Amino acid sequence: MENINFDPEKIKTLVIDYGIQFLLALVVLVLGLLVIRWLTRSIVKLMKRSNTNESLIPFLRTIFNITLKVLLFVSILGMVGIEMISFVAIIGAAGLAIGLALQGTLQNFAGGVMILLFKPYKVGDYIEAQGLAGSVKEIQIFHTILTTPDNSVVVIPNSPLATQALKNYTAEPKRRIDFSFGIGYGDDIDKAKGILRDLAAHDERVHEDPEPMVAVEALANSSVNLKLRVWTDTGDYWNLFFEMNEKVKKAFDREGVSIPFPQTDVHLYKAD
179-198: pLDDT as tens digits: 999 999 999 999 999 999 99
- 8-101 and 115-168, same CATH topology: no
Q: Is 87 helix (H, G, I), strand (E, B) or coil?
A: helix
CATH number of 8-101: 1.10.287.1260
Cα–Cα distance measured from residue 66 to residue 60, given in angstroms and rounded to the nearest whole number: 10
* pLDDT for the residue numbered 63: 76
135 has a pLDDT exceeding 80: yes
- Regarding pTM above 0.75, the answer is no
Query: 115-168: what fold?
Result: SH3 type barrels. (2.30.30)
Report the interhelical angle of 57-79 vs 8-49 (nearest 10°): 160
Instruction: Pick the closest to residue 247 from 171, 178, 181, 149 (CA basis).
Output: 181
Q: What average pLDDT does the structure give for the chain?
A: 83
CATH fold of 174-255 = Alpha-Beta Plaits (3.30.70)
Domain ranges within the chain, ordered by starting residue = 8-101, 115-168, 174-255
Helix-helix angle 237-255:189-201, to 10 degrees: 140
Once rounded to an integer, what is the mean pLDDT over residues 123-132?
91
H and E: helices and strands count for the chain: 7, 8
* Cα distance between residue 259 and residue 129, in whole Å: 35
What value does the mean pLDDT take over residues 218-244?
Answer: 94
Question: In angstroms, rounded to a whole number, what is the distance separating the alpha carbons of residues 103 and 156?
Answer: 17
Neighbours of 196 (CB within 10 A): 23
Rounded average pLDDT over 205-227 = 94
